[in-house]
Structure 1
Amino acid sequence: MTATWAGAGVDPALVTRVRERVARAGAAVSQEELERTVRELAGVVGREDLGRLVTSVRAELTGAGPLQPLLEQAGVSDVLVNGPREVWVDRGAGLEPVPVDLGDAAAVRALAVRLAAAGGQRLDDAAPVADARLPDGTRLHAVLPPVAADGALISLRVLRPRSFSLDSLVASGSVAPAVAPVLERLVAARANLLVSGATGTGKTTLLGSLLSLVPRHERIVCIEEAGELAPDHPHVVRLVARRANVEGVGAVDLTDLVRHALRMRPDRIVLGECRGAEVREVLSGLNTGHDGGCATIHANAAQDVPARLEALGALAGLDRAALAAQATSALHAVVHLRRDAGQRRVAEVAQVVSRGGELTVETVLVQDAGGRVLRRPGWAGFAARWGMR
């Protein structure tokens, strides 16, 4: 059975009147002010009905409308809309449909357009694709017809910045007890780390926990497309990329931010996700004395990292040989994560080496399907280099 959202019964005229009142106020409206405004415009309602009405109106004004309750559910990481009655969520065990009725195709389109506007992006027939960050940090990707052949599509990624200690990741099974000391030693020895994995494997969570191990007197400069990292550390400086506005100006991309970060006296430079030409600036920085840096990268296995880096290097004008020379000296270790049956875990620790001029990632530790952590032939040299047993 498909249920309509509780706010679907809100009178659109009421929402319009509240929006006009809020616009005239010219500032952020508090919960108390919104309650007073709704009570004045809606007439006499009971306290319980007023609470539901205010929640619905706020969701229509500043939130994701009928999708807002899903975004606020604990454990939800993604909300996807394929059509008026095709809504899916990921609660950590893969995508599953939810019984939500958004009305009709026009309502889905209107919601996509409003969300894009809230993120400062244009979405219409002339610009049918939008990639934005909503005021609460939620990532939005929206596509309109004719690019989306069957109707407007909405993809929302929920960001819940939260700091997890390495001990808590061990307790949850994300990091094996035998692997935790290895990660601690790599951070203490200022190794340059690349955290790899597919989407939703917990790369950002692990990176945040590793940054929490950085000595308290060091300055960390984090560069991200969206503010996801939340390390438990007293000296973190955050730089967040900015997209062009509706006029197509004002963009500040990751490449620019990496260059600026190098001038900010960082002890550690951290790139939230390496996904484009900024790889050249990151490798250059790590090769010029900025050790102890970290980044994440999308890859299905640790052994796929060289190919992924080569593809990104090509975007920056680096040929295969140049990329290999830079990466071999700039990167020391790869920590690869996997997600099996909803469980995120560190599956491999590998070292970055050059074999005949070719960039290679060589696994030194692996956790098998039974949970055992096994040492590979390269472990002895890797351990000796970083002062491990």
Structure 2
Amino acid sequence: MTTDLVDRVRRRLAREGTGATALAEAVRAEANGIAGHQELLETLRMVRHEFVGAGPLEPLLADPDVTDVLVTAPTEVWVEGAEGLRKTEVAFADEDAVRRLAQRLATTAGRRLDDAQPFADGWIPGPHGRVRLHAVLPPLAPDGTCLSLRVLRPAKHDLAELQRLGTFGATGASVLRAIVAARLAFLVTGGTGAGKSTLLSALLGAVPPTERIVCVEDAGELHPSHPQFVRLVARPPNVEGVGEVTLRELVRQALRMRPDRLVVGEVRGREVCELLAALNTGHEGGSGTLHANSPNEVPARLEALAALGGLSRDAVHSQVAAAIRVVLHMVRGPDNTRRLAEIAVVRRGGDGLQVLTAWQDGIWTEHGPALRTLLPGDPGGKRC
């Protein structure tokens, strides 16, 4: 009876519209045959899941340890968190319930999701941080609607907290502070979920409070403890395909805002051309994150992204060698711990751009002096 009641409430709202009291009035109007309070409460719970927030997934998104919520079938709801990927007890009534939730969330994100447009990707604002939505409908997903929600929680840890968590040691923290103090432009690299944004946010918190940081982001993850941190967030196109504001456009706007340090939260497209140009025109101490499995992959990744903006390989190598001085590489261990694995220096070599590991797993390498000569004082001995 409860499922049938929810269907009747849905049809009534479709006929009469929604408003401040429409949902409650629809439940009262359609609940005449309910036997008792327990069934009414269950109906209200189902109605809330049907029309408000992320429905039955809302408690999972509220868990601060959860980074991803994945639905592959009505009874297959998984989460990624501190303990890795695990199945939950959450379940949907049927495939139609999953599809309705996916379509409602897509509408919230300003996206179309139906048989004519069977997949959608967008951002959903919420009380737990911005949520990235991806949904695919049958027949593209033949086993049922697939729904992926990634929670981008604000990165708020400072360097002292990351040191306490074991991301790096005491001398490693000194090296990172020296990189910030020397105003060296750097990239934080690593795979998905490796802790790139967390480390970048902590480093920005170590910037002197007299300096103005202007940050361009796609998702608004960075929340450093800094009095002059200004954030610009890109905007996707609306359901009609207009109104988009790209990272590349925002980088240009950021240059007009008198930044002492220019930051791109994630370098993922042709905006790398504007960033490199800015860092080569007196904007020292800039930074960003970049998806790469090792520091050695950085040249190829930057070449591919800059090619989207029309830069040749030689031009990219020249600009990167002049603009970026250091690469900080984060890795995620099998136990879901995040650690700073490598610090590398960037320079122009005979055959192109070179990224040389100066420090690895707490030990200076043969290229260590190339980094230490760039830093004020001597931030460490053999171990970091």
Q: Same fold (TM over 0.5)?
A: yes
Task: Give the equivalent residue in structure 2 for 1:386.
Answer: 375
Task: State the one-letter code of the partner of 2:102.
Answer: A
For residue 116 of structure 2, the aligned residue among 119, 126, 132 is: 126
CA contact (8 A) 2:328 2:342 kept: yes
Q: Distance between the aligned counterparts of 2:256 and 2:346, measured in 1? A: 27
Q: CA deviation at 1:52?
A: 7.6
For residue 102 of structure 2, the aligned residue among 99, 112, 128 is: 112
Closer, same or farther: CA 168–57 of 1 in aligned 2, 3 Å:
farther
Task: Give the equivalent residue in structure 2 for 1:342.
Answer: 336
Please report the RMSD computed on the Cα atoms of aligned residues, expressed in angstroms.
Answer: 2.7
Q: CA deviation at 1:252?
A: 0.7
For residue 232 of structure 1, the aligned residue among 212, 215, 225 is: 225
Q: Is 2:179 aligned against 1:186?
A: yes
Q: Is 2:273 aligned against 1:273?
A: no
Task: Give the equivalent residue in structure 2 for 1:65.
Answer: 55
SS of equivalent to 1:291: coil
Query: What are the Cα deviations for residues 177-215 of structure 1, in whole angstroms up to 9, with x where unaligned?
Result: 221111111111111110000000111111111111111
CA contact (8 A) 1:194 1:297 kept: yes
Q: CA deviation at 1:302?
A: 1.4
SS of equivalent to 1:243: coil
CA contact (8 A) 2:279 2:286 kept: yes
CA contact (8 A) 2:6 2:43 kept: no
Task: Give the equivalent residue in structure 2 for 1:155.
Answer: 148
Q: Distance between the aligned counterparts of 2:289 and 2:266, measured in 1? A: 5
Query: What are the Cα deviations for residues 16-63 of structure 1, in whole angstroms up to 9, with x where unaligned?
Result: 6679999334xxxxxxx8998799666999999988876654443231
Q: How does 1:156-235 map to 2 (within 5 A)?
A: 156-235=149-228
Q: Distance between the aligned counterparts of 2:35 and 2:285, measured in 1? A: 59
For residue 244 of structure 1, the aligned residue among 222, 237, 249 is: 237
SS of equivalent to 1:100: coil
**Amino-acid identity (%):** 48
Query: What are the Cα deviations for residues 221-262 of structure 1, in whole angstroms up to 9, with x where unaligned?
Result: 111111111111112211111111111111111111111111
SS of equivalent to 2:112: coil
Query: What are the Cα deviations for residues 56-85 of structure 1, in whole angstroms up to 9, with x where unaligned?
Result: 544432311121111112300001111222
Q: Distance between the aligned counterparts of 1:107 and 1:200, measured in 2? A: 30
CA contact (8 A) 1:10 1:57 kept: no
For residue 312 of structure 1, the aligned residue among 280, 287, 305 is: 305
Q: Distance between the aligned counterparts of 1:63 and 1:162, measured in 2? A: 23
Q: CA deviation at 1:315?
A: 1.6
Uncovered stretches (5+) of structure 1, i.e. residues with no partner:
1-6, 26-32, 368-372
Q: CA deviation at 1:279?
A: 0.8
SS of equivalent to 1:23: coil
Closer, same or farther: CA 39–125 of 1 in aligned 2, 3 Å:
closer
Closer, same or farther: CA 103–286 of 1 in aligned 2, 3 Å:
same
Closer, same or farther: CA 46–288 of 1 in aligned 2, 3 Å:
farther
Q: Distance between the aligned counterparts of 2:178 and 2:38, measured in 1? A: 55
Task: Give the equivalent residue in structure 1 for 2:251.
Answer: 258
Closer, same or farther: CA 265–62 of 1 in aligned 2, 3 Å:
farther
Q: Distance between the aligned counterparts of 2:38 and 2:172, measured in 1? A: 51
How does the TM-score come out when normalised to structure 1? 0.87
Task: Give the equivalent residue in structure 2 for 1:97.
Answer: 87
Q: Distance between the aligned counterparts of 2:328 and 2:97, measured in 1? A: 44
Aligned residue pairs: how many?
371
Q: CA deviation at 1:120?
A: 1.0
Task: Give the equivalent residue in structure 1 for 2:6.
Answer: 11
Task: State the one-letter code of the partner of 1:23.
Answer: T
Task: State the one-letter code of the partner of 2:366.
Answer: P
Q: Distance between the aligned counterparts of 2:137 and 2:91, measured in 1? A: 19
Q: Distance between the aligned counterparts of 1:335 and 1:139, measured in 2? A: 26
Closer, same or farther: CA 254–8 of 1 in aligned 2, 3 Å:
farther
Greater Cα offset, 11-20 or 214-223: 11-20
Q: Distance between the aligned counterparts of 1:336 and 1:381, measured in 2? A: 17
Task: Give the equivalent residue in structure 1 for 2:322.
Answer: 329
